[in-house]
Structure 1
Amino acid sequence: MDAKQLLLTRQSTPRLVAPAPNAEQLTFILDAAARVPDHGALTPWEFIIAVDDGLAKLADIFVDAAKKSGADEAFLTKVSNMPYRAPMVITVVAKTQTHDKVPVLEQHIAAGCATMAMQQAAFSIGLGAVWRTGDFAFDANVHQQLGLSEQDQIVGFLYVGMPAVKAPIKPLKNGQQYARYL
């Protein structure tokens, strides 16, 4: 797939099945993430990969956080299944630091760019991916159980696998409608 086709046809793939990316595919996905703009070469990100038993651990973390917030049984059941929406979940964390020239917001954006690059990389090799956030990205219990520090912020959970169905390519949006000139 050439770059132009990738940029104009990329889309989220919410229905994903096994297999998870193999070692070579995962290396490509992670290497693509590490190539995003990174002012100051701070590499303000961490990728926490859940696959196989890791999905069960992530489910336990979500359930524990939901219990601590007073969730009912129906929600706990839903939460326990969330990591299994795909054979791999990559939790992308913005690992920020104080810097004279690189504000925290820019570091969060870099981590977001890394997430988008991983999704595009997956799409380019025939895999599917969907970037989700939700309340658990901001939950202190989830952060603690993932070993994050106080200044760390989850920017998303990237679900990766094989597309369950071949989705039609969405119509191209006209980007000019969102632009204006000074």
Structure 2
Amino acid sequence: MSLMKIIQNRRSIGKVKEVVPNKEKIEQILEAGRWAPSHYRTEPWKFIVLQGEARIKLGEAYAEINLEEMEQPTAEEKKQAYEKGVKKAKRAPVIIALIVEPVSGETIEWIEEVEACACAAQNMMLMAHELGLGTIWRTGKPTYHRIMKETFNVSNKGMVLGFLYIGYPDMQPKNVTRKPLEDKVEWWTE
């Protein structure tokens, strides 16, 4: 399949089977991320692969964040928060935590480090699609919470950028259209 077809056909796949993709496929996905561009070749990304029971660590972080927002939760509310968090973390057999650890330097811009990690995520999603796997990049307010940073040992200047949920698709993605190119592009020649 041509690169353009891969780009046009890749969709977020929120529902995947419980079958665990083999390690070689996950390593190919990680390798694609490793080859993302980064300004000054800083390679500011770090990937943490969660499989099996290790996913519960993510679920516990979700639960802890949910509980922090409650005033004096009951035992039942604590139990529900834990179950909800673990359920979120078990929506895919493989999850890759995307972490940006910015490099310090006079010429290094923090936002460019984040952008480089986002490029790595895109590379990874495209590679997963080529390998017949589905992905969805999950983010949201809990992703950027200090508890998530603590869970994944992220430095003060770093951040969790999101989570790639990966597995074999268990849904048919919707057909998607895009606005015409001319609606999104301006050509400046003078």
- Aligned residue in 2 for 1:157: 163
CA separation in 2, counterparts of 1:91 and 1:84?
14
CA separation in 1, counterparts of 2:24 and 2:126?
16
- Aligned residue in 2 for 1:62: 62
Most deviating of 43-52 and 69-78: 69-78
| Residues 18-167 of structure 1: pairs in structure 2 closer than 5 A | 18-70=18-70, 73=77, 76-167=82-173
Q: Secondary structure at the match of 1:48?
A: strand
CA separation in 2, counterparts of 1:169 and 1:19?
25
Q: CA deviation at 1:172?
A: 4.8
Q: CA deviation at 1:75?
A: 5.0
Q: Contact 1:92–1:154 (CA<8 Å) still a contact in 2?
A: yes
Q: Unaligned 5+ residue runs, structure 2?
A: none
The alignment's TM-score, normalised by the length of structure 1, stands at 0.91
Q: Contact 1:115–1:156 (CA<8 Å) still a contact in 2?
A: no
Q: CA deviation at 1:23?
A: 1.1
CA separation in 2, counterparts of 1:97 and 1:156?
19
Q: Deviations over 1:63-113 (max 9, x none)?
A: 122222327635554323111111111110111022222211000000011
Q: Contact 2:33–2:120 (CA<8 Å) still a contact in 1?
A: yes
- Aligned residue in 2 for 1:2: 2
Most deviating of 139-148 and 73-82: 73-82
In the comparison of the two structures, how many residue pairs are matched?
182
- Aligned residue in 1 for 2:177: 171
Task: Provide the alpha-carbon RMSD of the alignment.
Answer: 1.7
Structure 1 letter corresponding to 2:22? N
* Identity among equivalent pairs (%): 24
Q: Contact 1:92–1:155 (CA<8 Å) still a contact in 2?
A: yes
CA separation in 1, counterparts of 2:17 and 2:179?
28
Q: Contact 1:61–1:145 (CA<8 Å) still a contact in 2?
A: yes
Most deviating of 167-176 and 106-115: 167-176
The alignment's TM-score, normalised by the length of structure 2, stands at 0.88
Q: Secondary structure at the match of 1:85?
A: coil
Structure 1 letter corresponding to 2:57? K
- Aligned residue in 2 for 1:14: 14
Q: Contact 2:34–2:120 (CA<8 Å) still a contact in 1?
A: yes
Structure 2 letter corresponding to 1:17? K
Q: Contact 2:138–2:164 (CA<8 Å) still a contact in 1?
A: yes
Bigger CA radius of gyration:
2
CA separation in 2, counterparts of 1:135 and 1:39?
27
CA separation in 2, counterparts of 1:137 and 1:94?
12
CA separation in 1, counterparts of 2:134 and 2:179?
21
Q: Contact 1:59–1:81 (CA<8 Å) still a contact in 2?
A: yes
